[in-house]
Amino acid sequence: MKYVSTRGGDAVSLEQALLSGIAADGGLYVPQEMPLFSSHNFSGAATLADVGRIFLAPFFAGSSLAPELQEILAETFDFPIPITPLATPAGEAGLLELFHGPTAAFKDVGAGFLAACMSRLDAGGDKPLTILVATSGDTGGAVAAAFNERPGIRVAVLYPDGRVSARQAQQLTCWSENVLSLAVQGTFDDCQALVKEAMADRDLSEAHRFSSANSINIGRLLPQAIYYAHASLQHWFESGRKASFVVPTGNLGNALAAFIARLAGLPIDDIVIATNANRTIVDYLETADWLPRESIQTHASAMDVGNPSNMERVRALFGDAEILQELTRAVAVNDAAIEEEIRRTYADSGVIVCPHTATAIHVWRHMNEDQRKGKDWILVATAHPAKFETIVEPLIGTKVPLPPELARILALPSRFQRMQPELSALSDCLRNGYNAA
Ligand SMILES: *Cc1c(COP(=O)(O)O)cnc(C)c1O
């Protein structure tokens, strides 16, 4: 399989798409063709890794990574992704729990898979690769955890000092020698600008062999389709019925993965998008005008995206607003509704959910009869509520129990380097590690 840029350009190999992240013409890589499966292709495939091996085989065909796919998947899916029942007075749904990975959020899937691929691609390089990540909190932790202790690869995580939560800060700073945690004296935008500046600097780029692991990398998208494939097949083999999903999304990566699974023939019926108050996608589906804007801060902070970059992929693979209106619908959920949903879900069902998951539950609960009836709904739960305890605990009036993976991380020693938002400071830190002046 070759990968092509959304803006034209030459087709490249999977390896090249993974290592460069973004295409030379500034576009995003998409698969050149889409495989088509039917459910019986997956009979006997029980685990996420089993389903993933069948699903990704065409996407890996012809790649040097193809013989390693099984091991890559075993490393990625070394935690469960169960569907648990959510019983409410309004009806029943399933919760697809994507938050049992090392940092208790669904980005562990994409980051883990990308790390497993990259460490195999670069085996034997004489200088380590340096993955640069700017993070406002969640992505950096998942990427650091995924690359932690991988030989031949180092990660530099840049985050705004004092502007991430205490638990997020711990997840950014508790790793081994190969993860450099840089507490930038500035904002997230400063971090992002600095990463861009460093990547564009020839000398620095060559000296450190920069690469990125951000959410537009195709290596983060492909594995996310696997949990949709697995969940829908499990439901299909149990009930003979298709599953419908409500997907909390920000940069549109999570929803796009569901679209890809359905396009590839998996037994998926409706896919409904839940956003927070950042309603760029919702407005586009309503008005057909694509109007990216500044993001606004919400309780579902990992979805605070005003310019969802994966829309470029969605339009390249599917088409513009008129076609997308046939494929999906999108609903924006504001902070007041998120709060109400967290409270209500706990009161009605005894289930504690994070603010991102609450957007999906809210959208499902407020569907009209026509939209909801006759379908089997699975609501996607993207983070463990204990990651967002400062929002959740006051709403439910009780402590959120810590899951073992978070408890382990919170107990580790933490270490970081403070840094001014300047290229020379970043250069010093990269050269000297934790001993920089
Ligand atoms: C990143 C994230 C999302 C949104 O994912 P996209 O790929 O941006 O659609 C939702 N919930 C949580 C907890 C996240 O970390």
| Contact 383 CB / ligand 1 (< 6 Å) | yes
Closest atom of ligand 1 to 305 CA is: 8
| Contact 353 CB / ligand 1 (< 6 Å) | no
DSSP state of 240: S
Rounded-to-integer distance, Cα 172 and Cα 227, Å: 26
pLDDT at res. 264: 98
Sheet strands side by side (includes 153-160): 210-212, 129-134, 153-160, 179-184, 417-419
pLDDT at res. 123: 58
Query: Which of 139, 299, 382, 391 for mutating ligand 1's site (highest number of atoms within 8 Å of CB)?
Result: 382
Do the Cβ atoms of 246 and 363 come closer than 8 Å? yes
Do the Cβ atoms of 250 and 106 come closer than 8 Å? no
Closest atom of ligand 1 to 142 CA is: 15
End-to-end CA distance of the chain: 47
Q: What is the mean pLDDT of the chain?
A: 94
Do the Cβ atoms of 167 and 141 come closer than 8 Å? no
Name the residue with the closest Cα to ligand 1, atom 1: 302
Confidence of residue 339 (pLDDT cuts 50, 70, 90): very high
This prediction has a pTM of: 0.94
Q: H or E stretch including 272?
A: strand 268-275
Ligand 1 centre from 62 Cα, in Å?
A: 31
Percentage, residues of the chain above pLDDT 70:
98
Do the Cβ atoms of 275 and 282 come closer than 8 Å? yes
pLDDT at res. 71: 98
| Contact 216 CB / ligand 1 (< 6 Å) | no
| pLDDT surpasses 50 at 133 | yes
Which amino acid belongs to residue 142? Answer: A
Alpha helix segments (H runs only) across 331-416: 335-349, 355-365, 369-372, 389-396, 404-410
DSSP state of 303: G
Confidence of residue 435 (pLDDT cuts 50, 70, 90): low
Name the residue with the closest Cα to ligand 1, atom 9: 249
Ligand 1 centre from 22 Cα, in Å?
A: 20
Confidence of residue 136 (pLDDT cuts 50, 70, 90): confident
| pLDDT surpasses 90 at 164 | no
Do the Cβ atoms of 159 and 165 come closer than 8 Å? no
Which domains are assigned to the chain?
71-106+219-406 (3.40.50.1100)
Dump pLDDT digits (tens) for 73-98.
999 999 999 999 999 998 999 999 99
- Of residues 168 and 397, more confidence is placed in 397
Do the Cβ atoms of 337 and 248 come closer than 8 Å? no
Q: H or E stretch including 31?
A: strand 29-31
Query: What residues have CB less than 8 Å from 281, skipping those under 6 apart?
Result: 249, 252, 273, 275, 308, 311, 330
| pLDDT surpasses 80 at 18 | yes
| Contact 248 CB / ligand 1 (< 6 Å) | yes
Closest to 342 measured CA to CA, from 373, 402, 300: 300
**CA of residue 377 relative to chain centroid, distance:** 21
Confidence of residue 437 (pLDDT cuts 50, 70, 90): very low
User: What phi, psi does 318 have (nearest 5°)?
Assistant: -115, -50
Rounded-to-integer distance, Cα 201 and Cα 420, Å: 18
Rounded-to-integer distance, Cα 348 and Cα 189, Å: 40
Pairing of strands 83-88, 153-160: unpaired
Closest atom of ligand 1 to 383 CA is: 13
Do the Cβ atoms of 280 and 298 come closer than 8 Å? no
User: What phi, psi does 436 have (nearest 5°)?
Assistant: -60, 150
Rounded-to-integer distance, Cα 164 and Cα 176, Å: 20
Do the Cβ atoms of 132 and 198 come closer than 8 Å? yes
